[in-house]
Amino acid sequence: MTRDALDRSTIVVLALFGLLVAIAILAPWLVPHDPYAGDLANRLKPPAWLPGGDAANLLGTDVLGRDLLSRLLIGARVSLLVAILSVLGATLLGSGIGVAAGYAGGWIDTLLMRVVDLAISLPMILLALLVGVLVGPSLTNIVIIIGLVLWAQFARMARNETLRVKNLAYVDLARAAGCSSTRIVREHVLPNIAGPLIVLGTLQVGTVIVMEASLSFLGVGVPPPAPAWGSMIAEGRSYVFSAWWICIFPGLAILSTVLVANFLGDRLAQVLTPERHRE
């Protein structure tokens, strides 16, 4: 891929992701109806382009007569909030541990990496499901749970990048000049490992959205009546043949958001770490 094509594709993907973020932020002002208000007289109304539908409920209504488009928009707010906060928390925790292990070396590195290996070996979704059942469903709990499940991947990445950077010539010069370890890490290590961590964090956004939707589908994610995409699919699974729109549209929302996040991560990887993507 040429440089110009790469720049254009990056701009397009950034614009799409920015659009999703803008929708999530502005969702309370974009919704055409109250996403929590049901109307049993209008339950299971089909999308506007199907017989029996109307423009008042563009994507139809659910089993309680709630407007599906409004719930999808608020669901985007919930999903992206969980994804961004979880990834940010996992990045901070994992990066701190990884940098400490990589820069200190010795038994500290060995001990911390064994903990990381143990954390990575555990199945993420099952661990999150178990903790979710134990602590109960809530938005705060799901952010903490997913962050604690993902931190080890950031720790491994930060440790590997720190090992690479700390042996470079300018770090040796800073050390010879009498700079403290804290200053070297702050001014030389962290700025040079930020690119790969940003790429990993962007790629993990899609993973978190799928994980949050899975937990909400199983009833241990964001609790009702909050319109999470996973719980919307769970609500519509009994009507998949008679009222397919209840679960199909949330599924498409998850699919499109994950694809955009993954494409963005791929483009950022080529921009922020070009040495790893030589043609």
Q: How far apart are CA 36 and CA 92, in angstroms?
A: 35
Q: What are phi and psi of 144, to 5 degrees?
A: -65, -45
Q: For domain 3-25+56-276, give its CATH number from 1.10.3720.10, 1.20.120.530, 3.30.390.10, 3.30.300.350.
A: 1.10.3720.10
Position 4 confidence tier, pLDDT thresholds 50, 70, 90: low
Tell me which residue of 190, 144, 197 sits closest to 171, measured CA to CA: 190
Confidence of residue 278 (pLDDT cuts 50, 70, 90): very low
Q: Are residues 246 and 261 in contact, defined by beta-carbon separation less than 8 angstroms?
A: no
Q: What pLDDT shows up at residue 6? A: 54
In this structure, are residues 181 and 162 in contact, taking their beta carbons and an 8 Å threshold? no
Contact 69, 57 (CB under 8 A): yes
pLDDT in tens, 7-39: 677 788 888 888 888 988 898 898 888 888 888
pLDDT value at residue 154: 93
146 within 8 A of 139, measured Cβ to Cβ = no
Which residue in this structure is represented by tokens 């609790």? 223
Query: What secondary structure, in 3-state letters, does the chain show?
Result: CCHHHHHHHHHHHHHHHHHHHHHHHHHHHHCCCCCCCCCHHHCCCCCCCCCCCCHHHCCCECCCCCEHHHHHHHHHHHHHHHHHHHHHHHHHHHHHHHHHHHHHCHHHHHHHHHHHHHHHHCCHHHHHHHHHHHHCCCHHHHHHHHHHHHHHHHHHHHHHHHHHHHCCHHHHHHHHCCCCHHHHHHHHHHHHHHHHHHHHHHHHHHHHHHHHHHHHHCCCCCCCCCCCHHHHHHHHHHHCCCCCHHHHHHHHHHHHHHHHHHHHHHHHHHHHCHHHCCC
The residue ranges of every structural domain in the chain are 3-25+56-276
Poorest-confidence range of 65-69, 122-126, 153-157, 270-274? Answer: 270-274
Which residue from 190, 3, 1 is spatially nearest to 98, judged by alpha carbons?
Answer: 190
Q: What is the pLDDT of residue 277?
A: 47
CA separation for the pair 153, 146 (Å, rounded): 12
Quote the distance between the C-alpha of residue 99 and its chain's center: 23
- pLDDT tens for 216-255 read 888 887 877 788 888 888 888 888 888 899 999 999 999 9
What is d(CA 80, CA 19) in angstroms, rounded to the nearest whole number?
A: 12
- Per-residue pLDDT of 76-115, as tens digits, reads 988 888 889 999 999 999 999 999 998 888 888 899 999 9
Least confident of 2-6, 118-122, 194-198, 216-220: 2-6
- In the numeric block, which tokens belong to residue 210? 């799928």
What does the pLDDT read at residue 279?
43
Cβ–Cβ < 8 Å for 204, 150 = yes
